Amino acid sequence: MQTVADIMTTEVITVKRETTVRELAEIFKEHPIGSLPVVDDGGAPTGIVTESDLIEQGRSLHIPTVISLFDWVIPLGGEKSLQRDLQRITAQNVGEIYSRELVCIAPDAPVSTAADLMSSRRLNSLPVLQEGKLVGIVSRIDIIRSLINR
C-alpha cells in the first residue's frame, strides 16, 4: 500500500503572513504550484494560501442589495460579507487573504485517505505534518502520478 510519504513533495515552498501579495504572485508565477503553506516564525504551519485567494484581488466588488427600514439601511448579503470582500480585494499581504483552516495529513497515511480528503473538502493540496512539523506537501498531481506509476 502506497503512503503519502511515498508521493509527497519534501522541498516545500512556504510563505509567512508578512509576505506581500506581489511576492506571493511572483512565487506562483515561478513555480507550478497552486497553494502554499503559511508558516509562523518557528516554521509551524498556520494556514494555507491558494492561487484562488490571490485571484480575488482582481475581481469586482459586489455591492450588496440593501433594504431601507425606517432610518436604517440593512445589507441583504450581510455586512460581514461586504467587509470580508473589501479586505480581500485591498489586501497587501498573505495574512489578509490566507485560510486559517488547515487540513493536514500524516506521512504514513494511505494515498487513498489523501485522495478522499481532497475530494470531500475540495482541496488541491494537503500539508504533511509529522509531530507538528511540516515535512512535505501532497497535491492532486502527486496522486495522479501515483496512479500512473502503479
When pLDDT is cut at 50, 70 and 90, the band that residue 55 belongs to is confident
pLDDT tens digits, residue range 90-129? Answer: 678 999 889 999 999 999 999 999 999 999 999 999 999 9
Res 75: pLDDT: 57
Calpha distance 41→97 (Å, rounded)? 18
What residue numbers bound the domain in which 49 lies? 4-148
CATH code of residue 112: 3.10.580.10
Scanning the structure block, which residue is given the C-alpha cell 493540496?
125
3-state secondary structure labels for all residues of the chain: CCEHHHHCECCCCCECCCCEHHHHHHHHHHCCCCEEEEECCCCCEEEEEEHHHHHHHHCCCCCCCEEEECCEEEECCCHHHHHHHHHHHCCCEHHHCCECCCCCECCCCEHHHHHHHHHHHCCCEEEEEECCEEEEEEEHHHHHHHHHCC
The total number of structural domains that make up the chain: 1
Mean pLDDT computed over every residue of the chain = 84
pLDDT (average), residues 62-73: 54
Q: Following CA atoms 122, 124, 130, 131 in sequence, which dihedral angle do they give, to the nearest 10 degrees?
A: -50
Whether 62 has a pLDDT exceeding 90, the answer reads no
Tens of pLDDT, residue by residue over 3-30, are 999 999 999 999 999 999 889 999 999 9
**What CA–CA distance (Å, rounded) separates 142 from 125?**
9
70, amino acid identity: F
Least confident piece of the model among 39-48, 51-60, 63-72: 63-72
The sign of the torsion formed by the CA atoms of 59, 60, 63, 64 equals: negative
Q: What is the pLDDT of residue 140?
A: 94
Q: Label residue 61 by pLDDT band (50, 70, 90).
A: very low
